[in-house]
Structure 1
């Protein structure tokens, strides 16, 4: 009989992760029903405070097949509880979108790349009730690991991200030609009107709290009086400004954006000298069809070291454009190749999305790991906790140094007008 063992760090063992559940996982992964589960070992798959909307579990199973010795496989289970505090998950259909992305979109994009590229992990199983749950291959078994969100990515990492992102965007453009309705479900992203509609909704409360704290912080900086005044006016119409930063525009280049492109949603593989050789993306639940400026600005203002952001942004955009053009030409489907100037224009038009990322997301990213243990959506429902946590986030030295550079840039770009 199969046994299930939960590590001590699994405080509330999920009852839906049972033997029949993993029997289905194995049948899909191995493409056979002739398999006998022997044992299941489940532990937490991420540090406390690193995942807001989901619980991540690492699972190792032992099993036997006829005429085979005992074998082992490892999986990642992503479980999204049904909670009132995360109503935007239903509003934005993030579970459905992620399921479609892994089952249908990514395999087709990889086929367009002639299977020379992996864009995401394999999805083996999903369950809607009692909790939205997705089961993936564990890419750690293939040597993929996360980089440091606290330090940010150096130029070598960023160049690789630009190359892979360009291939992802280019193949999505091709898939949209082959199947014109494939991305109809991708109209809602992180800043969709649906997700921001409620003043007391979690997303709007979170971004509003960050905006107020940004204004408070910058108001204390000598020499930033004009910028602080503009931020104050921007925050008076925050919802409209947020929606506008993502809203579709006429005649823009359109691609499938990952939608949440920051350090923790990337897994890197390194050579013996610890140089990044490969990259796979994870967490496609907020993907959105729209300008590549959405992904590019979000990545620039959440994931780079300040040194790279300050001095290598142009080189990164040139790398992105060169790989985008090459991929589209190699696909040989007659898709117009955007010029470098067009890509620059897309990025410039979405600088407002970069501003949002710089105060709405980056404060969390730059937080010291020791301060994130109690970060979860349930805690953020408490107004006093949220206020204290946001103030703590904005005390980060890395955040302050970055904002002193980026805010004048956003002012020059007209984002705050």
Structure 2
């Protein structure tokens, strides 16, 4: 397994004194003595971008317990100079504050709602330590030690899709109840599309060009190609930003980056999936559930999307009915209305994120920072037969529904 270059060595402050403070932080352990620890990268190359993550396996004792062991995940700011560090120097404080708020104030309440409704599987990893000074850092329990694993497939199968959409329905239902009944502090807008246009162009500009070049080569796609030529990325980004920031027909706390690498799974033989846990809540925002649904749909076969969406909504309603929520229930028609309005996001994701479906994970050599700063390395992905089949299936629908025309005329 290859690792991100900036995660080969942990910052020097990740030492025995820091680990002692982590273990004593929540009062579960006192008078900790660290005997030994090993630090290693916590994720494979390309699995995430903004932060750096390490696994610490610790041997320690306390006044009450001798010879204890534990494994934790440390998430902190990049220290090696480069594009990733430059981005996080700009956005890191907001991102870490956002995630700490979710783990400390929101997710525990969501778990209580779900358990009350009879949904007892873990929602998210337990946060065991957090700090903004002198270092921005969050520490979690190690889900791998609890039997969770990354999805062993690039493209999920039908069972995977049912599990991950059910989990989204559970999470959205719990947050819908919180938003409906809770404080205004949950009404945060933000996410990917509120970054400056220059950052958007740097990260995705070449990808959108590669997408247009691909469509130009596809027989029968001449009309789509002609209209795409009139849609610059900044216009598409502004349209998506408008969608994210306007009220939905009903509102939840979107995860904001709900894709397969921000989940860990449990199941038989490290392959068959029966449970999923969510990770990485750095860009959550309040808005229509259509955002997360469309975002997640970009990574599943188009033929599976209608059934998955209905399963999501059935789970969403089931949670609300079985909890003590007594307000009006959203309807499937409202969700379908919002999903239709979010078709511009469909186009953005098809042109950018979906292309990763054509990437063979066993052949992955470049970290995300390298791909963002030298996006020409992504051009070969746009010739993948798997990706091209997605484009041929999804793009004609967007054309027929008038999405490209709307974007051409969008100011």
Q: TM-score if structure 2 supplies the norm length? A: 0.88
1:327-342 aligned at under 5 Å gives the runs 327-342=319-334
Q: Deviations over 1:143-186 (max 9, x none)?
A: 11111352x111111111121111111111111233222313x3
Gaps of 5+ in 2: 406-411
Partner of 1:85: 83
1:299-310 aligned at under 5 Å gives the runs 299-302=296-299, 304=300, 306=301, 309-310=302-303
1:208–1:238 CA contact under 8 A, matched in 2: no
1:60-99 aligned at under 5 Å gives the runs 60-81=57-78, 85-86=83-84, 89=88, 90-91=90-91, 93-99=94-100
Residue 158, structure 1, aligned to residue 155, structure 2: no
2:166–2:312 CA contact under 8 A, matched in 1: yes
Deviation of 1:36 after TM superposition, in Å, equals: 1.3
From 189, 192, 214, the counterpart of 1:187: 189
Partner of 2:283: 286
From 169, 172, 195, the counterpart of 2:175: 172
Equivalent residues, number: 393
Residue 124, structure 1, aligned to residue 143, structure 2: no
Q: Deviations over 1:280-324 (max 9, x none)?
A: 00111111111111000110112x1x3xx21x3222122111111
Describe the shift of the 1:81–1:226 C-alpha distance in structure 2 as closer, same or farther (beyond 3 A).
Answer: same
Describe the shift of the 1:224–1:144 C-alpha distance in structure 2 as closer, same or farther (beyond 3 A).
Answer: same
Q: Deviations over 1:100-129 (max 9, x none)?
A: 111111011111223724221011112335
Q: Give the Cα–Cα distance (whole angstroms) in 2 for the partners of residues 120 and 148 of structure 1.
A: 20
Q: Give the Cα–Cα distance (whole angstroms) in 2 for the partners of residues 328 and 318 of structure 1.
A: 16
Describe the shift of the 1:379–1:271 C-alpha distance in structure 2 as closer, same or farther (beyond 3 A).
Answer: closer
Q: Give the Cα–Cα distance (whole angstroms) in 2 for the partners of residues 131 and 81 of structure 1.
A: 11
Q: TM-score if structure 1 supplies the norm length? A: 0.87
Deviation of 1:271 after TM superposition, in Å, equals: 3.1
1:340-355 aligned at under 5 Å gives the runs 340-355=332-347
Q: Give the Cα–Cα distance (whole angstroms) in 2 for the partners of residues 204 and 103 of structure 1.
A: 34
Partner of 2:152: 148
Deviation of 1:405 after TM superposition, in Å, equals: 0.9
2:29–2:62 CA contact under 8 A, matched in 1: no
Residue 397, structure 1, aligned to residue 380, structure 2: no
Q: Give the Cα–Cα distance (whole angstroms) in 2 for the partners of residues 189 and 149 of structure 1.
A: 27
1:207-286 aligned at under 5 Å gives the runs 207-235=204-232, 237-249=235-247, 252-271=249-268, 274-286=271-283
Deviation of 1:35 after TM superposition, in Å, equals: 1.9
2:202–2:372 CA contact under 8 A, matched in 1: no
Q: Give the Cα–Cα distance (whole angstroms) in 2 for the partners of residues 209 and 9 of structure 1.
A: 24
Describe the shift of the 1:48–1:272 C-alpha distance in structure 2 as closer, same or farther (beyond 3 A).
Answer: closer
Q: Deviations over 1:338-380 (max 9, x none)?
A: 1122221121111221221222212235322355422232663
Gaps of 5+ in 1: 1-7
Describe the shift of the 1:178–1:358 C-alpha distance in structure 2 as closer, same or farther (beyond 3 A).
Answer: same
Q: Give the Cα–Cα distance (whole angstroms) in 1 for the partners of residues 139 and 246 of structure 2.
A: 33
From 18, 39, 49, the counterpart of 2:15: 18
